[in-house]
Amino acid sequence: MRDMIFAEDDQDDLACIYGSTLATGGTVKDVEERPSRIRRVTAAQIKAVAARYLAFDRSTTGYLLPKTENEEMTLGAQPHAAMNIQEVKSEKGMIAWLVEDHTVEIVNIGFAFNGGITQDPVGKEGMANLMAGLFIEGAGNYDSDAFQMKLDDAGAEMGLEAQRHYICGSVCMLPKQQDAAFGLLRLALNAPRFDQGPIDRVRAEIVSDIVGSERDPDAIAQRKWLRAIYGTHPFSRPGEGTKESLAGITPPDLLAFHKAIFARDGLHIAVVGDIDANTLRERLDQLFGDLPEQQTLAPVADCTEARPTGGGELRPAADFAAIGLAWREA
């Protein structure tokens, strides 16, 4: 019920609700009346549905049994102890952990740079999150549309996520098209465009989510919670930023932030799939070899002394409540 109401503030959720309803023969009126219909549901009706479907003769039970010595592993599964993790070091010193798996023609690469949302400048909170959202919005000579068309042609998927301490990325590709996929990943890592059009569009999407969360008790409580625990420490800042902070972020800001974070000394790489160590060794320098050697991160103060300052009460944004509890470490 609560999710239905809050979905009205999110464009993506609202589009999905209307789309699925209309696709299954419903009407706009069905969507509009859904909250009131849910409110009219009684406990007796819920019990009747539960009795009808949660019946023993409709259930299926699975049992996890220990493997015997004579049994063979199925579905290509391997015990963890048999996993061969290789350390692959490139000529320029990049190190990756590789698990070769040639049973499926897919290569998955995960990488992370030290930094994250704690590196957002004061007054420009949301910088890391905005940069992550622009990862496939144009690089090198390809604008946003051209880059994503090339990505589709290569049969690859890639993305970037801003976390508290890291900027994490991933790419999934087919070995037969790895030349094209690796080329696009290299451009995204080394030559992001940060064109104004995609910046405005991605920023508007983030702002839409922020506006939607302003009526969400969980989101409101979380923001209050972080301020109470961390005060002015970077951990208290909203990772998505604010409407005001996002408005002040410019293309030069993003380029400078990218240069400070995307450097070799703060890089961590893991690769799983249909690729051998020698091939990966060459690809590492192709992808990351031209990045700056050292990051230029702002120091982040230790927050070990952060403690909840006490309880807080907020004016409810809807007919729901959110409660958070914390205990000091012994």
Domain coordinates in residue numbering, the chain:
2-51, 83-288
Dmax (CA) of the chain: 70
- DSSP 8-state assignment for residue 172: E
Q: Stretch 268-272: mean pLDDT, rounded?
A: 93
How much of the chain, in percent, has pLDDT values that exceed 70?
Answer: 75
Buried (b) or exposed (e) across 27-57, using 16+ Cβ within 10 A?
eeeebeebeeeeeeeeeeeeeeeeeeeeeee
Mean pLDDT across the stretch 226-241? 82
Q: Is 300 left (phi over 0), alpha (psi -120 to 50) or beta?
A: beta
Grade residue 61 by pLDDT with cuts at 50, 70 and 90: low
CA distance 199 to 134: 7
More confident site: 239 or 285: 285
Res 137 pLDDT > 50: yes
Q: Which residue, chain included where needed, has tokens 């994490």?
A: 168
Which two tokens mark 184? 């696009």
For residue 112, pLDDT beyond 90: yes
Exposed, middle or buried: residue 233 (CB in 10 Å: 0-12, 13-18, 19+)? middle
pLDDT reported for residue 76: 45
Residue 254 has pLDDT above 50, yes or no: yes
Predicted confidence (pLDDT) per residue in 142-195, tens digit: 999 999 999 999 999 999 999 989 999 999 999 999 999 999 999 999 999 999
- For the ranges 162-171, 193-202, 217-226, 314-323, the lowest mean pLDDT is seen at 314-323
Q: What class does CATH assign to 83-288?
A: alpha beta
pTM of the entire predicted model:
0.71
